[in-house]
Amino acid sequence: MQGNGELKWYVRFVPGFMVENARKAGLDPNTVFPGFLVAWIAFFAILSLPVPPGLKPAGLAAAAVAVWAVIMWITEAMPVGITGLLIPLLLVLTRAQEKIPQAFSGFTQDVSFLVLGSFIFAAIMQSTGLDRRIALAVLSRVKPQVDQVIKGLMTVNIALSIIIPAAVSRSAVLLPIVRGIMDLFEDTPEGRRARGALAITGLCYFPMVGGILLLTAHMPNVIMAGLFEKELGYQLSYAKWFWLHWPILGLLPIMFLIIRKQLNVGGISVPGGTDLIQAEKKVLGKMSLVEWLVLAVFAVAVMLWITEPQHKIKTGLATLIALGVFFAPGLLPTPWKTLQNKTIWGTWLLLAGALSLANAISDTGLAKWIADLAGPVFKGQHFLVIVVGFIVFTALVRIFMLSNVAAVAMLAPIVLSLAKTLNLNPVAFTLLVGNFDTFSFIVPTQVTACVIAYGTGTFDTKTYAKVGIPVMVATLLYFVLIMMPWYAVNGLPVWGGYVTWR
């Protein structure tokens, strides 16, 4: 987030060349320099504290690393990929984790390889233009009305979630397409409403919500699934995750109605119809042999994910098997350097570091200690009060955090431990809280994809909250009335007591 404005007084103590370099790197000097300093001050301050009763020294060290990481993520003082690499380093140096393999456990979990392979799949599809072709194919079939284009963007994001495993990447893919449609509108009240609605929905809401449906489509899904397997012995396969979450599709029409009413876009026509989309499709031409080949290999990968219970090959390893097929000589015309540049390594490093941190928060007893502190607040309450109360609490905490991945990495181990303290089903409780975090739509800076949308300059924070808060309320009701009973039907009643599957 670049900052070219006036420097705050405290930044004037920073050498001028460093301020200039930060600006050239696209950073905001007013945020990154104090953020960097505060993160390290907090880190050493926590390490110097006496160990609280009931907490081990390793747990205090893990807390220092967690606070350091959160401040770095909030202020963007360091690239997220670098923080992901430094987390295991700090875990070892502080002796939160004694052994290097243990500290880097997030880098070696099966789900980590699943995501890395999916990122390379996405890079292959982007290099062949398949992602753009899918988006244009869906949008070309909608009527030239703003609300119908919004429906199309909803469908596009669900389709893209199958092949692009990160919300911010789906948002980036759709950015030029959505911008092209927005540019068709004149600077009138109707035009401004239309542009804002397209940006908020197509680049922010739907990339995030569409990700909950599939295990590989959203990084928090992977963090929670990895935690369940490590801590509880409960494996959520690709197929099982989908089965547990397909009812989330019923929330999309509700969101659509809220968006249409709150932004008042019903009846607004798209100038020139969908000529732009048809023209873009024409430029792409017919599907090539390479595109068909990519689709076929990817279909094999999906089938391996779905049939994991039968062949017993973990999804991460199955992904690498399919990926190896792509790179047989002569199958792909794209140089590795091109694919390497399109692979979002930084996000993968963030995910692996976040998984390592989540493991450390559990292993050192920090999660249990925090849960024991929070337990008395909820102890003896009805399970609905606990679920709704904790969801609302975490939604407020999330106002101060940019990364959905970081938030779930912090919260999931604590929620899982709290489930034991309160005798709730740990999988159902963690899923309800963790999935709701995806709907953090109070301010745009809560979600990276929404920062991309906000960067279009088509809406202000007041408009964003006007839509986001009703969507969050509707989501909370939907989770309580639909998703919670659905989990129960599938053997995960949140009120059913704490259980492991070892």
Query: What is the 8-class DSSP label of residue 481?
Result: I
Q: In angstroms, what CA-CA distances link 16 with 9, 19, 20, 31, 372? A: 13, 5, 6, 15, 47
pLDDT in tens, 70-118: 888 777 788 878 998 999 999 999 999 989 998 998 898 887 887 788 7
C-beta of residue 51 within 8 angstroms of C-beta of residue 64: no
What pTM, to 2 d.p., does this model score? 0.77
C-beta of residue 163 within 8 angstroms of C-beta of residue 121: yes
Q: In angstroms, what CA-CA distances link 256 with 149, 263, 311? A: 11, 11, 40
pLDDT for residue 2:
46
pLDDT of 403 higher than 90: no
156: closest CA among 120, 209, 118?
Answer: 209
Confidence of residue 1 (pLDDT cuts 50, 70, 90): very low
pLDDT for residue 274:
67
pLDDT of 430 higher than 90: yes
pLDDT for residue 122:
77
pLDDT in tens, 290-302: 888 888 888 888 7
For the chain, domain boundaries: 110-342
C-beta of residue 77 within 8 angstroms of C-beta of residue 35: yes
pLDDT for residue 385:
92
Q: Which residue has the higher pLDDT, 37 or 13?
A: 37
- In this structure, what is the dihedral angle of CA atoms 71, 73, 76, 81, given to the nearest 10 degrees? 130
Dihedral sign, CA of 388, 210, 427, 495? Answer: positive
Instruction: Rank 22-31, 235-244, 388-397 by mean pLDDT and report only the highest.
Output: 235-244
Mean of the per-residue pLDDT values of the chain = 85
pLDDT for residue 284:
79
pLDDT of 4 higher than 60: no
pLDDT in tens, 447-472: 777 777 877 788 888 888 888 899 99
Whole-number Å distance between alpha carbons of 229 and 241: 13
Q: Which residue has the higher pLDDT, 200 or 43?
A: 43
Q: Read off the pLDDT of each residue in 251-280 and give the average, rounded to a whole number.
A: 82
Angle, vertex CA 290, rays to CA 285 and CA 291, nearest 5: 55
C-beta of residue 482 within 8 angstroms of C-beta of residue 247: yes
Dihedral sign, CA of 266, 270, 276, 278? Answer: positive
